[in-house]
Structure 1
Amino acid sequence: MGEPNHSPGKELQHWTQAETPGKKSWHSQAYALGAISNFMSTFLTFPIYKVVFRQQIHAVTVSEALRQLWHEGPQYFYRGIYPPLLSKTLQGTLLFGTYDSLLCSLSPVEPHSLGHRWAAGLMSGVVEAVALSPFERVQNVLQDGRKQARFPSTFSILKEFNSYGLWGRLSLGYYRGFWPVLLRNSLGSALYFSFKDPIQDGLAKQGLPHWVPAMVSGSVNGTITCLVLYPLIVLVANMQSHIGWQSMPSLWASAQDMWDTRGRKVFLIYRGGSLVILRSSVTWGLTTAIHDFLQRKSHSKKD
């Protein structure tokens, strides 16, 4: 690896670490920039997400998903946006902030090895899953058109969950589908942070504008991660759309049911995958570019 100043990713990391030399820091700037970049990218890409969710739940085409949303009316199009805005903002806060803190704890001196980046990414994904799974659970119930009459608002869903006993609130309520969420988030985070800087550094050597390597790096990582983890994404959406005290299928039974209802064909499990890949590519491209821009701007002000 070359000198730190020759690499945009390492250069930005040095700026953050330089704020408190000689001390272990929680890098408050990393948390703030992660929150802002995720909030902005989530707001911009929510329409794509809404169509994707309908495909995952009903196994329909893009045109049919759009027809459903059109039939429900524009007043429901942004139904469910508040949980993802809040959860994705918190996700960015935890993901970028904890990764930066954990990486510096594991490897105080650069260059950081692939193993250290992978470990820090994996652990930050675990923290993210534990903290944010309840938000995703509520969001998925809100976006299921079959439940609009029974659960017209976030409050009605929370009231249902809180009517259960303590264990029921966790297993049937807020943390329904937790294990696939944990696996998806930890692996996704590890993949993203392991390869983000190498891709960005390689492109930066071509003399491109700063935002181009960041956006391409985020887009490539988002695409690859989505392709690998898409079956888990579908499984989570289907598990978390269930609600109530009725008998809920186990993780294995849910996976088996998903496989059976998709005709035991991989390409049907990946139905909706084109939009998911597009959304993931655009979201992580925007998130990475915005985060890179804000970090550079913050550093230039300090200079």
Structure 2
Amino acid sequence: IYTIMKNYSNRHYNTIIRLQSYLHGGTSSLLSTLPTVFVFPVYKTIFRQQIHNAPVHQAVGQLYKEGPLKLYRGVAPPLLMRTLNGTLLFGLQDTLLRHLSLSTTTSAAALPALAGFGAGVVEAVVFTPFERVQNVLQNGHNDKHLPSLRSVLMKLKVERISQGYYRAFLPIAARNAFGSSLYFGLKGPVCAVVAGQGLSPVVSSFVSGTVTSMVISLTLYPLSVLVANMQAQVGGEVKGVTACWRQLWKSRNHSLVLLYRGGSLVILRSCITWGITTAIYDRQQKGSS
């Protein structure tokens, strides 16, 4: 009886730990995303640069011309997506990590990255429709024929799934999988190095999240530009990933500098957001252990 009760207690405890990972991931992501309400115009500026290859002043001019009522068009999807994203990403990675540690002979150092890769793939499956809706709403060219969230949802619903809600799924899956793998694979070692310099755990986690995010953003930013361009339009000629990439590369005059236009704002935003998220999440995890 004692053995049975002990096994039940251990299973119950492990379940609580796994649920805490989901809760802590959602909480940390929500808290780090609240400033999005205030800096959402920056999001839209970046998006306009990505799809129109426009300099900052021209992108800002577009938003100014459209007026304040349309400035926050499309703010709801990223707020909801970011909170749910953190819940799923951190929770699922922790769950996969626990299962992998019990069922594989792979080096323990590689397991966080491997679990992160799997979590990133699932993340793409769940959140590609959110990103699709967000990108359609943020494209000013859609304002007239798709004036509301409801109209966007109805339009995407009648499209084939690969052309509607799951447009650009492959580049999103690649970006999220490799991004999550890099994040979970690097944040622990980077945090340990920073903590070795005598900094507090919270500061170490923040620096770890910031540095890791910078590496990921620099590496994978071209995929984000590709996704934005593939998802911004609804209907019309539908091209595959390769054709869209060739068209994008040609529109940027085969220049990496132009391809990374808007990247500085993305990297800055990402570093701050993921620095805060990592610090809050690690603090919650340590507090519950």
Question: Shared topology, TM-score over 0.5?
Answer: yes
Residue in structure 1 matched with residue 147 of structure 2 by the alignment:
152
Query: Retained in 2: the 8 A contact 1:203–1:213?
Result: yes
Asked if structure 2 preserves the Cα contact closer than 8 Å seen for 1:138 and 1:174, the reply is yes
Match of 2:56 in 1: 62
Q: Is the 8 A contact 1:242 1:248 kept in 2?
A: no
Structure 2 residue aligned with 1:6 = none
1:117 to 102, 106, 112: 112
Give the alignment partner of residue 50 of structure 1, picking from 22, 44, 48: 44
Aligned partner of 1:239: which letter? M
Q: CA deviation at 1:128?
A: 0.2
Residue 128 of structure 2 corresponds to: 133
Alignment counterpart, residue 219 of structure 2, candidates 203, 211, 228? 228
Deviates most, 79-88 or 254-263: 79-88
Q: What is residue 65 of structure 2 aligned with on the other side? A: 71
The more displaced of 272-281 and 63-72 is: 63-72
Report how far residue 67 of structure 1 moved.
Answer: 2.1
Match of 1:248 in 2: 238
Question: What is the number of residues matched between the two proteins?
Answer: 274
Q: CA deviation at 1:95?
A: 0.5
Match of 1:279 among 260, 269, 272: 269
| AA at the equivalent of 1:192 | Y
Deviation at 1:135, TM superposition (A): 0.3
**Could you tell me the TM-score, scaled by structure 1's length?**
0.85
In structure 1, the residue matched to 2:250 is 260
> Which residue does 1:218 correspond to in 2?
209
Contact preservation (8 Å) 1:38, 1:92 = yes
What is the identity, as a one-letter code, of the residue corresponding to 2:272? Answer: V
Kindly state the Cα deviation for residue 108 of structure 1 after the two structures are TM-superposed. 4.3
Letter paired with 1:290? I
Q: What is the distance in 2 between the residues matched to 1:117 and 1:187?
A: 12
Once the two structures are TM-superposed, the CA of residue 298 in structure 1 deviates from its matched residue by 4.5
1:29 to partner: Cα distance: 0.8
Residue 43 of structure 1 deviates from its aligned partner by 2.9
1:283 CA drift (Å): 1.4
Aligned partner of 2:150: which letter? Answer: F
Is this contact kept in 1: 2:50–2:228, CA < 8 A?
yes
Amino acid at match of 1:59: N
- 2:4 alignment counterpart: none
Aligned counterparts, 1:169-188, within 5 A = 170-188=161-179
Deviation at 1:268, TM superposition (A): 0.8
Inter-partner Cα distance in structure 2 for 1:150 and 1:192: 39
After superposition, the Cα gap between the structure-2 partners of 1:151 and 1:43, relative to the gap in structure 1 and judged at 3 Å, is: farther
Task: Return the alpha-carbon distance in structure 2 between the equivalents of residues 274 and 163 of structure 1.
Answer: 37
How far has the Cα of 1:276 moved from its partner?
1.2
Question: Structure 1 residues 157, 249: closer, same or farther in 2, change over 3 A?
Answer: same
Contact 1:50–1:143 (CA<8 Å) still a contact in 2? yes
Query: CA separation of 1:116/1:295 partners in 2, compared to 1, >3 Å: closer, same or farther?
Result: closer
Query: Which segment drifts farther, 188-197 or 149-158?
Result: 149-158
More deviation, 74-83/255-264: 74-83
Deviates more, 1:139-148 or 1:289-298: 289-298
- The amino acid across from 1:51 in the alignment is T
SS of the residue corresponding to residue 197 of structure 2 reads: coil
Deviation track 1:226-281 (CA, whole Å, cap 9, x = no partner) reads 1111111100000011202x221111110010011111111111111111111111
3-state DSSP of counterpart to 1:171: coil
Aligned to 2:281: 291
Q: Distance in 1 between matches of 2:158 and 2:170?
A: 23
Q: Please tell me whether the aligned partners of residues 142 and 233 of structure 2 are also in contact (alpha carbons under 8 angstroms).
A: no
- Counterpart in the other structure of 1:33: 24
Task: Specify the code of the residue in structure 1 equivalent to 2:205.
Answer: A
